[in-house]
């Protein structure tokens, strides 16, 4: 089936942070992104393939069919926080993210890899190693700079749901504001 004539597709592969956990879907940052693109007259389509609770391994297993179905020009990989919260192998996380980046590139997509961080309750060595993976992969693959996804909300309880893990509606808006400066130049490069 041929795609309609538009600037392109953006594919978001993430977990509960991008799936608007605990909120109506329209309050999630991915839906807010789609609204912003429409409001600015930017003819991009956004496909949100985020699943609450998903890990990098689960996302990797789904990615080939997502790339075939959506044929994205931009892939936002906002995944990995559940790997960290479950204390999964850092080497496994890095390998999964690396493979996802390579698959997206093989399909001609540009990848945006926002940073992720986890609370230090697993120890600073694990938490620091976890955060470093995103920096290392951006450098290795020469990806655009991207901020820490929860940079503006993680430590502000007013912006989080009662579980203190997921952003509320105001926090979701800030996730978009955090990513927009990294995403906007990519949109303009096509």
User: Tens of pLDDT along 107-118?
Assistant: 999 999 999 999
**Quick check: 126 pLDDT over 50?**
yes
Q: What is the mean pLDDT of residues 84-100?
A: 97
**Residues 114, 18, 151, 142: what is their CA dihedral angle, to the nearest 10 degrees?**
0
Q: Across the strands, what pairs with 167?
A: 160
Q: Tell me if residue 105 is catalytic.
A: no
Q: Tell me if residue 163 is catalytic.
A: yes
Reading the block at residue 5, the tokens are 């004539």
Q: How confident is the model at residue 6 (pLDDT cuts 50, 70, 90)?
A: low
**Quick check: 4 pLDDT over 60?**
no
Active-site option among 16, 50, 56, 81: 16
Could you tell me what percent of the chain has a pLDDT over 70? 97
Helix, strand, or coil (residue 134): helix
Please choose, from the candidates 128, 129, 76, the residue with its C-alpha nearest in 3D space to the C-alpha of residue 104. Answer: 76
Q: Tell me if residue 16 is catalytic.
A: yes
**Quick check: 34 pLDDT over 80?**
yes
Q: Identify the pLDDT of residue 178.
A: 97
Active-site option among 54, 70, 107, 166: 166
Q: b/e map of 15-30 (b: 16 or more CB within 10 Å)?
A: bbbbbbbbbeeebbbb
């Amino acid at each position: 089936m041929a795609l309609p004539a538009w600037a392109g597709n953006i594919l978001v592969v993430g977990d509960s942070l991008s799936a608007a956990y605990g909120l109506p879907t329209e309050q999630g940052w991915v839906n807010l992104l789609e609204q912003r693109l429409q409001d600015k007259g930017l003819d991009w389509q956004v496909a949100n393939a985020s699943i609450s609770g998903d890990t990098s391994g689960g996302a990797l297993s789904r990615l080939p069919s997502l790339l075939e179905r959506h044929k994205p020009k931009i892939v936002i990989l906002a995944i990995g926080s559940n790997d960290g919260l479950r204390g999964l192998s850092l080497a496994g996380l890095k390998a999964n993210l690396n493979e996802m980046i390579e698959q997206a590139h093989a399909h001609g997509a540009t990848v945006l890899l926002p940073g992720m961080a986890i609370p230090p309750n697993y120890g600073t060595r694990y938490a620091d190693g976890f955060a470093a993976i995103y920096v290392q992969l951006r450098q290795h693959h020469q990806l655009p700079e991207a901020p820490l996804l929860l940079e503006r909300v993680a430590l502000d309880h007013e912006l989080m749901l009662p579980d203190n893990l997921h952003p509320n509606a105001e926090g979701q808006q800030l996730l978009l504001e955090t990513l927009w400066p990294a995403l906007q130049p990519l949109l303009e490069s096509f």
